[in-house]
Structure 1
Amino acid sequence: MKKSFSQRFNLSLFVFIWHGFFLSLTMSMIDFNTVFPALITELTDNKIIFGVLYSILLGAPLFFNAIFGYFMQYYPYKRKFLMLGIYLRSISFLGMALFTYYFAQRNPLVVIISLFFWIFLFSISGGFAGLAYTDIIGKIFKKEERGKVYTYKQFFGSIAALLGGLIIAKIFSPGYIEYPLNYTLSFSIGSAGLFIAALAFWFIKEPQAKVTNQQKEPLKTFIKNIPVLLKKDEHFLHFIIVENLSSFSLMILPFYIVFAKDTFLISESYVGHYLLFQIIGTIFSNIFWGYIFNKYSSKTVVSTCIFLGAIIPIVAIVLSFFGPNLYSIVFFLVGFVISGRRVGFDPYFLEIAPEEERSIYLGVRGTLNFMTVIMPTIGGLFIQTMGYYTTFIIVTTVMLTDLYLIKHKMVS
């Protein structure tokens, strides 16, 4: 007996909620705004090395996404790419755990060098898994259903992130587990969590994608055609520009806890404390973003998210005069931005990308987000040479410019 549309929709929705739940739990174990920055600052005081690692983390897939998009466009089914990416990410978690355990105290330089490899593997595998993931969502759910999918996934993911935050708070609580075992345990939980997250995709029925170009064009020709695509689709071009400029907000996120450690001389126990505030902000924001998405549009979500990205650096400067506890508000707002980007950017992209060219658009989008590659390194260089306050003000200025562009150049 065939399943009704409602049954198929609910099953698919459950699969993505399952994955989102365990993925969020897992990502709390290496949260890139609290846990990972705290580990790097334990290993080195050099802000430039810190920035370079983040450039690899955020930018490595961008060099390969056009190639991934070119390659995947000829495959009607993308699930195998998604599964491979998830499993490779799990292996990278395990690698970080082992190197931290064996070398963090005896030879921190070995851990730092290994992180360049593990973060690269983590990043590029997440890159092509993300392309496959977004394409599968686009195939399974209709335009009017995607907002619901992302909102539900974000809600349950936030609950899982809260659970993960409580685990991190316990792991990093004073006297519970000493360094570096606290990071080893955290990364090991992350590795196991990704395997569990991937299980749901074995039960999903992926629709066959339309493959319009059965004969492969040379990769060189594909890359040369990217400017033609952007010239043809100005809405997509404006989207790329806005998303690139918004990377200034992403650039500064991991430095908020480094700023707190340098300003307040806080202990590691604040890692879990700030992470919990970030997760609480993410949870509360789900209601807010869901309302904005349903009443207005994904574009409104993106513009509101960019506005928050503009004011957080100023809030951080002001709260730096009031102690580490009140500074928790910064991470509460960071939770709003992280959630808003997830609910806003991908659904907006799916609205403007033609279905038959979605893999190509995904690859081009990823590769042309080149500012994401260099921003963390530039952020570390700026902070190392000009200080936090000047860097924060620069970020605010750029984000307000981005807000102007999205309001006047992008379609609703």
Structure 2
Amino acid sequence: MPGAELRHDSADRRGMAMNAILGVAAESVNAAAEVMLLPSLILAFFAAELTPSYATIGLAPAIATSFWTLARLPALLITGSRRRQQPWAFAAALVRAAAVAVLAVVASRTDPAGLAQSARPLIGTFFLCLIVYALAGGFGSVPSAALLRSAVAGDSWSLFSRRRSVWSAILCALAALIAARLLGANALPFPGSYGRLFLVATVCLIAVAVFTAAMREPLTVAPALSAPGLSPRALRQTFFDSRYRRFLLFRVLLSSTAAIDPFLFLYAVTRLGAPMTAIGGYVLAGVLGWILSSPVWMWLARRSGARAVLQGAAVVRLIAPAIALVLPPLAATQMVRDRFPDGSALSTLYGVAFFAIGATLAAQSRGGYDYLAALAPRSLLATYAGMTNALLAVVAFAPVLGGALIQRAGYEGFFGAIVALGLAAVFASGALPEIPMPARFQSEPGLLETGPRALLASRL
């Protein structure tokens, strides 16, 4: 009956409006949880408290990035053709929450005195939970994106994206402040302080699962995310595309410079005398770098295109290793020692390195997908993206090699190698071909991650 149809349409509109609110809540709270679990800073330093091996420390961000990326392929194959995406997204959210909850309980109940005898049980639990967390996160990102695409009305997607960005920025900054508080001067002895932080992250992840379950998945099927085409013809066309090879070389070089990220804080503690409680402030610096630079990259993308954004990312990437190389000799001069005897000002200045890393990741997030989408043939975009992410999953283990290099050549040799890689990335960005950008381009959500979670690692 006409009246029944009107009531049904009205209920659908109310459901879509509520879905948008729940979607913003789920995405922003999830971003906050991931800030509290930053692999390149928080999780890397957690591992550093348990092992003297630099290679093992570098394994934390390597696992988080590579396993997250690799888990997306089976997710595309398994869930891509299914009508219901909500159960998969909800199950993945629960698994992530359970993994962090186990780590929180074990870290909270571990006796600090017992770690002096053997840290193997805790570090084994840490890496096991990290693997499960990363796999569930990568797998769940596919159905979660598909659920959002179908549950949020198309004509309100732009408004939804703006609200998601604003609330994600607010909650990410709040999460950084929470991390600074829980790991600050009045924190519990290690690992109890991290146990509390992981507990807060667990609460956030449970909230994400609740928001996901509360969404109303419509009966209509959204266009499924396409799995990368692996036919010999598609792979051949990808490899023989000279423009794509230049882009891939640039991305490999730029992503390789991320090997420095998990060791910057250790360097600050060992060489600059920064207190271990400064980790929260550096997390906040990274988040602020992301938030404050995003409008600049957006303006640059609109004015000059995604190529200019990627070139800017390569230049800004050089700031962190340059500061790490310059600051210790500067701190050793008599003039600086007389002016800043306690070294706190230098530790604060060192935060610029983390600010630059956050800004770089924001640029990669904005420019990476847009440039590749304009470069690749539309029918092969999934193949181009899949090949890129597969290679970056291997490059994600650069911190492990970086840790081995530190043990052989010291920090100075390692930072010099990173500067050389960064300069090579700058030159490679100059070789990127000019690609005409669409007048109005809207990235397809879920194919490649472009949200605040790019702070986790240098994903495309």
Flag whether TM exceeds 0.5 (same fold): yes
Q: Which moved more, 1:292-301 or 1:20-29?
A: 292-301
Match among 275, 295, 303 for residue 303 of structure 2? 295
SS at match of 1:173: coil
Shift of 1:150: 5.9
Match among 332, 338, 343 for residue 361 of structure 2? 338
SS at match of 1:327: helix
TM-score normalised according to structure 1 size = 0.83
SS at match of 1:409: coil
Mapped partners of 2:90, 2:175: distance in 1: 23
Checking the alignment, whether the CA contact within 8 Å between 2:44 and 2:58 is kept in structure 1 is no
Give the counterpart letter for 1:181 in structure 2: G
Residue matched to 1:192 = 203
CA displacement, residues 159-193 of structure 1 (integer Å, 9 cap, x when unaligned) = 21211121112212223433222101100111110
Structure 1 residues 327-406: aligned runs within 5 Å:
327-351=350-374, 362-406=385-429
1:230 paired to 2:238? yes
Shift of 1:270: 0.6
Q: Which moved more, 1:117-126 or 1:310-319?
A: 310-319
Checking the alignment, whether the CA contact within 8 Å between 1:69 and 1:360 is kept in structure 2 is no
Distance change in 2, residues 1:77/1:167 (3 Å)? same
SS at match of 1:208: coil
Q: Percent identity?
A: 16
Shift of 1:110: 0.9
Mapped partners of 1:291, 1:204: distance in 2: 35
**Larger RCO: Structure 1 or Structure 2 (Cα < 8 Å, ≥ 6 residues apart)?**
1
Structure 1 residues 111-130: aligned runs within 5 Å:
111-130=122-141
1:28 paired to 2:35? yes
1:276 paired to 2:276? no
Checking the alignment, whether the CA contact within 8 Å between 2:319 and 2:356 is kept in structure 1 is no
Shift of 1:304: 1.5
1:208 paired to 2:221? yes
Mapped partners of 2:181, 2:224: distance in 1: 49
Shift of 1:82: 3.3
Mapped partners of 1:109, 1:390: distance in 2: 30
Match among 85, 94, 119 for residue 92 of structure 2? 85
Give the counterpart letter for 1:203 in structure 2: M
Residue matched to 1:51 = 58
Mapped partners of 1:245, 1:177: distance in 2: 40
Residue matched to 2:172 = 161
Give the counterpart letter for 1:367 in structure 2: A
Shift of 1:293: 3.0
TM-score normalised according to structure 2 size = 0.75
Mapped partners of 2:128, 2:176: distance in 1: 26
Give the counterpart letter for 2:58 in structure 1: G
Give the counterpart letter for 1:283 in structure 2: I
Residue matched to 2:110 = 103
Mapped partners of 1:259, 1:13: distance in 2: 43
Mapped partners of 1:369, 1:298: distance in 2: 19
Checking the alignment, whether the CA contact within 8 Å between 2:253 and 2:425 is kept in structure 1 is yes
Shift of 1:234: 5.5
Mapped partners of 1:402, 1:136: distance in 2: 36
Mapped partners of 2:414, 2:233: distance in 1: 37
CA-based RMSD:
3.8
1:245 paired to 2:253? yes
CA displacement, residues 275-317 of structure 1 (integer Å, 9 cap, x when unaligned) = 2222222221132223223333333323322221133211222
Checking the alignment, whether the CA contact within 8 Å between 1:245 and 1:371 is kept in structure 2 is no
Mapped partners of 2:267, 2:157: distance in 1: 37
Q: Report the count of equivalent residues.
A: 407
Structure 2: segments with no counterpart, 5+ residues: 1-5, 332-345, 437-460
Mapped partners of 1:141, 1:399: distance in 2: 40
Distance change in 2, residues 1:176/1:390 (3 Å)? closer
Q: Which moved more, 1:297-306 or 1:47-56?
A: 297-306
Checking the alignment, whether the CA contact within 8 Å between 1:246 and 1:306 is kept in structure 2 is yes
1:307 paired to 2:315? yes
Shift of 1:360: 5.3
Give the counterpart letter for 2:277 in structure 1: S
Structure 1: segments with no counterpart, 5+ residues: none
Residue matched to 2:454 = none
Distance change in 2, residues 1:26/1:66 (3 Å)? closer
1:317 paired to 2:330? no
Mapped partners of 1:172, 1:353: distance in 2: 45
Mapped partners of 1:98, 1:19: distance in 2: 24
SS at match of 2:82: coil
Mapped partners of 1:112, 1:359: distance in 2: 37
Match among 167, 184, 188 for residue 173 of structure 1? 184
Q: Which moved more, 1:323-332 or 1:192-201?
A: 192-201
Distance change in 2, residues 1:212/1:375 (3 Å)? closer
Shift of 1:80: 4.0
CA displacement, residues 213-271 of structure 1 (integer Å, 9 cap, x when unaligned) = 9xx9xx9x947566335147665555444333221232221211111112123333211
Q: Which moved more, 1:62-71 or 1:373-382?
A: 62-71
Mapped partners of 1:76, 1:228: distance in 2: 32
